[in-house]
C-alpha cells in the first residue's frame, strides 16, 4: 500500500511540525508514504467564499499529483471533506471519483483502514480536544451532540491509546471555534468572540494543550491564546500520537 | 440604490459585539434553550426516525403542493371558510386591509405570525390608519420598543427584563424600576385582555394546514391566538403556501417535532384547530406565495420550504448566539433566514449566506432535516455567479486561485510570507490585518514542510 501524503497549504507553510509528525506516524505504522512535491492547496478557500468555479486549477493539480496512489491521507478533516465533496474533473470523472473515495483524514485512516489498536506514544499532560466541525459533522469522525445516537470518537479512541494523557472535560463538547476559513476575517468580531469563548472553556478545565484534527482551528485558537499571554499550547493530534 | 449605506451582517455583528457582557448573556440564554432541546429529544429513542418521517412528509408535500393546495381550498370552502390567494406581500397586505375596510374597522389584534413580519403588514396597516396590537407577549414587547422580532419563536430574546420593565413603565404605566417578570406578565395580561375584548378582527398565523380536512392548526404557549380568534367576529389566518400537511394524523409527527425542537417542551400549551367559522362569524384564510413558488423551482434550495419555524437552528448557531437576530436584517434571522432571504432579494441579502462558519450544527438540529449548511455553501456560489460579491474579494480570489494552481508561484509566495513575518512583522502585524486585531500571527518556521522534505527525505 502506498499512501500519497497531502499537506494543507497553511500547514506546509506555518506548521511543518504537524506534517512531519503525520509522515513519521504513518511510517512508524509500516505505511509507505510519498509526498508529491508539486502539491499546493485543496481549493477550499475559494470554494467556501463562493468561488468554486475558480478551483479548476487546484483540482487539476491535485489529480495530477495524487491519481496514482492507493490512498491519500491528509492531517486535516476540513481539506479532506472539501476534496471528498468537490473534487471534480470533467475530462476524467472516474479518476476524480476514485480519489474522492480514497481520500482520508489522518485519524479515520488510522482507525478505519489501518485499524490501529495500540500506539507507542506517551503524553503526560492535560489535554483539551477540540472537535473541528468539518471533521466531526462532515466526515463523522465522532458523534455529534445534536443527534440522538450512540457515542463514538475516532480521534478519542486514538488518544486513549496514549500513555499518561489526561483528556479534560468541556462545557460545550462540540461547539465551533469560529475559524471558518475566510469567515475569520470577513466576520472578524464574531469569529474572535467564538474563539475566545472556545479557548476559555479549555482554560477553565485546566488544559495544558489543546489538540484536534485541524490545524486551522488550532491556529485561530493559538492566535487568541498568544494574544492573551496564555502558556497553553496547541498541538495537532499527529504530534501527540507520534510522541515518545 | 441605498444598499451602500445599509450595514451588512458583519458590521451589525461587530456593533453587537461592542458589549461583550451582553453577548455572553445572549449566548448563554440561547445555549440554555439548546440544552433544553437536547434533554427533551433524548427522552425519545425514536427521535431520529421521527425527524426522517417529518422530512419525508414534507418532501411529499413539496412534490405535490399544487394538488394539496387545491384539496385544502376545496375542503376549507366546504367548511364555510373564505379563501384568498396572494401572489406576494403587497397583495396579502391589501387583502387584510380590504377585509378591515369591509367591516369599517380601524383596529385589529394579531397573534404571532412570521409571515406578516415577512410581508411588513404592521407598517402597511399603520400607514393606512389601522391600529394593530400584537398579542404574543414577546411580540408586544418588541412592538412597544418599535423593533422587529430578533428570533422567530422568542421575539424579544435580545431584551433584558430591566429593559422590559422600563418599556412597560413608559407605555403601560407600571412603577419605574419594577422588572419582576411575574408582575410584568400580569400587567401585560390585563392590558391584552382589554384588547381581546374590544377587537372585532383578529389575525393569526398558521402552523399547519391540513389538506384532508381544510382545517388549520395554530400553536401558541400563551393562548393568545385563541383569545383573539374566538372573541372576534372576523378571524383572518395568514399562511405561506408551504404550511400544508396532507392528513390530520401527520400532526402526530409535527406537533411532537415542533416544540421539542423549539423550547424543549413536549408539545405547545395550546395546539388549536380552526375548521369553520362560528355561527354569525367569518373566517378567512389567506394563502401567500411571496417567492415560495420561485424557491420551489430552485432545485438546490427547494427543501428550505420544509421549515416548520421552530427556531432550533438559531438556538444552536454559534454565530447567531453571538451576533443577535437583528444583525441578519431580515424578518427571519439565523441559518434558516440566511437560506430563505436571498430568494426574496439576492442583492440585499447577499451577505447572509456568508454569516456562517458552515459548522453544520443547524442541519443536525433541524426537525425536518433541511440541509441548511450545504444550502449556505450553495447560495454563496449563486450569489458570486450573479455578481453580488464585493470587487475586492473577486480580485483577491482570482489572485489566490492563480497562485494555488501553480506550484512555483505557491512556493515563492509561501516563502515570501514567512520571510515577511520573520523580518518585517510590522508589515503584517498592523491594524490593516483583520486577523491581527485580536489574534497573534503564527510564528514563521525556518522551513516549510516541503523544504524539510526535500532536505530530509527526497532521495529519489
pLDDT along chain B (460 residues), means of 10: 70 98 98 98 97 98 98 98 98 98 96 97 98 96 97 96 97 96 96 95 98 98 94 97 98 98 96 97 98 98 98 98 98 98 97 98 98 98 95 90 93 89 84 90 94 83
A–B: how many Cβ contacts below 8 A?
Answer: 213
Q: Report the pLDDT averaged over residues A229-235.
A: 98
Which residues from A are below 8 Å from B389, CB to CB? Answer: 50-51
- Any A CB within 8 A of B459 CB: no
**Cα of A134 to nearest chain B Cα, Å:** 7
pLDDT for the residue B3: 46
Percent of chain A with pLDDT over 70: 100
Q: Cα(B64)–Cα(A156) distance, rounded to whole angstroms?
A: 45
Q: In what order do the strands lie in the sheet with A32-34?
A: A32-34, A2-5, A71-74, A103-105
Q: Which residues contact B445 (CB under 8 A, 6 or more apart)?
A: A13, A14, A15, A16, A17, B418
Q: Cα(B304)–Cα(B295) distance, rounded to whole angstroms?
A: 8
pLDDT for the residue B378: 98
pLDDT for the residue B423: 85
- Any A CB within 8 A of B400 CB: yes
DSSP type of residue B124: H
- Give B164-222 pLDDT, tens digit per residue: 999 999 999 999 999 999 999 999 999 999 999 999 999 999 999 999 999 999 999 99
Q: What's the pTM value of the predicted model, to 2 decimals?
A: 0.96
Q: For the domain A126-241, what is the CATH code?
A: 3.40.50
Please report the ipTM that was assigned to this predicted complex: 0.97
| Cβ-based neighbour number of residue A143 at 10 Å | 17
Q: Cα(A8)–Cα(A15) distance, rounded to whole angstroms?
A: 10
CB atoms B414 and A12 under 8 Å: yes
Q: Cα(A221)–Cα(A192) distance, rounded to whole angstroms?
A: 9
Residue from the list A40, A176, A194 with its beta carbon closest to the beta carbon of B410: A40
CB atoms A50 and B447 under 8 Å: no
pLDDT for the residue B419: 86
B214 φ/ψ sector (left φ>0, alpha ψ -120 to 50, else beta):
left
Contact residues, B window 28-47, toward A, CB-based 8 Å cutoff: 31, 38, 41-42, 44-45, 47
pLDDT for the residue B457: 85
**Cα of B295 to nearest chain A Cα, Å:** 20
Q: Which residue has the cell 403556501?
A: B241
Residue A218 near residue A212, CB atoms below 8 Å: yes
- Give B98-124 pLDDT, tens digit per residue: 999 999 999 999 999 999 999 999 999
pLDDT for the residue B5: 65
Query: Would you list the domain boundaries of chain A?
Result: 2-113, 126-241
- Any A CB within 8 A of B48 CB: yes
DSSP string, B298-328: -TTTGGGGG-----HHHHH-HHHHTT-GGGG
Residue B206 near residue B64, CB atoms below 8 Å: no
- Give A28-84 pLDDT, tens digit per residue: 999 999 999 999 999 999 999 999 999 999 999 999 999 999 999 999 999 999 999
- Any A CB within 8 A of B398 CB: yes
Contact residues, B window 279-318, toward A, CB-based 8 Å cutoff: 316, 318
- Any A CB within 8 A of B448 CB: yes
pLDDT for the residue B430: 84
Nearest CA in chain A to B312: A146
pLDDT for the residue B1: 36
Amino acid at each position: 500500500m502506498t499512501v500519497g501524503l497531502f499537506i494543507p497549504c497553511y500547514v506546509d507553510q506555518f506548521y511543518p511540525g504537524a506534517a512531519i509528525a503525520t509522515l513519521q506516524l504513518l511510517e512508524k505504522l509500516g505505511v509507505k508514504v510519498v509526498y508529491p512535491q508539486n502539491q499546493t492547496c485543496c481549493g477550499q478557500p475559494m470554494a467556501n467564499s463562493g468561488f468554486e468555479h475558480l478551483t479548476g486549477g487546484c483540482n487539476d493539480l491535485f489529480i495530477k499529483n495524487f491519481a496514482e496512489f492507493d490512498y491519500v491521507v491528509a492531517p486535516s478533516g476540513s481539506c479532506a471533506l472539501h476534496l471528498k465533496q468537490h473534487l471534480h474533473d470533467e475530462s476524467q470523472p472516474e479518476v476524480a471519483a476514485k480519489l474522492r473515495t480514497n481520500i482520508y483524514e489522518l485519524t479515520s485512516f488510522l482507525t478505519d483502514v489501518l485499524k490501529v489498536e495500540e500506539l507507542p506514544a506517551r503524553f503526560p499532560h492535560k489535554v483539551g480536544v477540540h472537535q473541528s466541525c468539518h471533521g466531526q459533522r462532515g466526515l463523522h469522525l465522532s458523534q455529534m451532540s445534536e443527534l440522538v445516537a450512540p457515542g463514538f470518537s475516532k480521534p478519542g479512541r486514538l488518544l486513549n491509546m496514549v500513555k499518561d494523557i489526561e483528556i479534560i472535560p468541556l462545557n460545550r463538547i462540540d461547539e465551533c471555534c469560529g475559524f471558518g476559513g475566510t469567515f475569520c476575517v470577513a466576520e472578524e468580531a464574531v469569529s474572535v468572540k467564538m474563539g475566545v469563548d472556545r479557548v476559555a472553556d479549555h482554560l477553565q478545565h485546566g488544559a495544558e494543550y489543546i489538540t484536534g484534527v485541524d490545524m486551522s482551528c488550532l491556529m485561530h485558537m493559538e492566535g487568541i491564546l498568544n494574544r492573551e499571554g496564555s502558556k497553553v499550547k496547541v498541538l495537532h493530534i499527529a504530534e501527540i500520537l507520534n510522541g515518545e | 440604490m441605498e444598499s451602500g449605506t445599509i450595514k451588512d451582517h458583519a458590521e451589525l455583528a461587530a456593533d453587537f459585539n461592542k458589549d461583550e457582557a451582553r453577548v455572553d448573556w445572549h449566548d448563554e440564554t440561547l445555549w440554555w434553550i439548546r440544552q433544553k432541546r437536547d434533554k427533551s429529544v433524548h427522552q425519545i429513542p425514536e427521535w431520529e426516525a421521527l425527524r426522517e418521517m417529518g422530512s419525508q412528509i414534507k418532501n411529499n408535500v413539496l412534490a405535490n403542493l399544487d394538488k394539496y393546495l387545491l384539496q385544502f381550498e376545496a375542503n376549507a370552502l366546504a367548511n364555510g371558510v373564505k379563501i384568498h390567494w396572494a401572489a406576494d406581500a403587497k397583495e396579502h397586505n391589501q387583502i387584510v386591509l380590504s377585509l378591515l375596510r369591509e367591516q369599517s374597522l380601524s383596529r385589529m389584534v394579531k397573534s404571532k405570525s412570521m409571515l406578516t413580519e415577512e410581508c411588513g403588514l404592521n407598517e402597511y396597516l399603520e400607514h393606512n390608519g389601522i391600529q394593530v396590537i400584537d398579542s404574543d407577549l414577546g411580540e408586544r414587547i418588541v412592538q412597544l420598543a418599535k423593533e422587529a422580532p430578533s428570533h422567530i419563536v422568542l421575539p424579544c430574546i435580545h431584551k433584558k427584563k430591566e429593559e422590559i420593565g422600563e418599556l412597560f413603565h413608559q407605555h403601560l404605566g407600571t412603577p419605574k424600576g419594577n422588572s419582576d417578570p411575574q408582575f410584568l406578565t400580569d400587567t401585560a395580561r390585563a392590558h391584552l385582555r382589554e384588547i381581546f375584548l374590544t377587537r372585532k378582527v383578529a389575525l393569526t398565523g398558521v402552523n399547519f394546514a391540513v389538506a384532508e380536512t381544510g382545517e388549520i392548526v395554530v400553536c401558541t404557549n400563551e393562548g393568545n391566538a385563541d383569545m383573539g380568534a374566538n372573541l372576534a367576529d372576523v378571524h383572518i389566518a395568514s399562511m405561506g403556501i408551504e404550511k400544508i400537511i396532507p392528513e390530520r394524523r401527520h400532526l402526530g409527527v409535527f406537533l411532537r417535532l415542533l416544540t421539542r425542537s423549539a423550547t424543549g417542551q413536549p408539545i405547545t400549551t395550546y395546539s388549536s384547530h380552526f375548521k369553520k367559522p362560528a355561527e354569525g362569524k367569518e373566517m378567512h384564510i389567506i394563502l401567500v406565495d411571496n417567492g415560495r413558488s420561485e424557491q420551489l423551482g430552485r432545485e438546490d434550495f427547494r427543501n428550505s420550504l420544509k421549515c416548520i419555524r421552530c427556531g432550533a437552528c438559531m438556538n444552536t448557531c454559534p454565530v447567531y448566539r453571538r451576533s443577535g437576530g437583528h444583525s441578519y436584517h431580515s424578518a427571519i434571522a439565523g441559518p434558516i433566514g440566511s437560506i430563505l432571504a436571498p430568494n426574496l432579494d439576492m442583492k440585499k441579502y447577499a451577505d447572509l449566506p456568508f454569516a456562517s462558519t458552515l459548522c453544520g450544527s443547524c442541519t443536525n438540529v433541524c426537525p425536518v432535516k433541511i440541509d441548511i449548511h450545504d444550502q449556505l455553501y450553495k447560495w454563496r456560489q449563486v450569489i458570486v455567479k450573479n455578481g453580488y460579491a464585493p470587487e475586492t474579494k473577486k480580485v483577491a480570489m482570482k489572485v489566490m486561485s492563480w497562485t494555488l494552481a501553480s506550484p512555483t508561484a505557491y512556493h515563492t509566495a509561501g516563502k515570501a510570507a514567512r520571510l515577511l513575518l520573520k523580518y518585517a512583522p510590522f508589515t503584517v502585524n498592523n491594524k490593516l490585518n483583520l486577523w491581527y486585531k485580536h489574534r497573534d500571527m503564527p510564528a514563521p518556521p525556518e522551513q516549510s514542510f516541503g523544504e524539510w522534505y526535500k532536505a530530509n527525505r527526497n532521495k529519489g
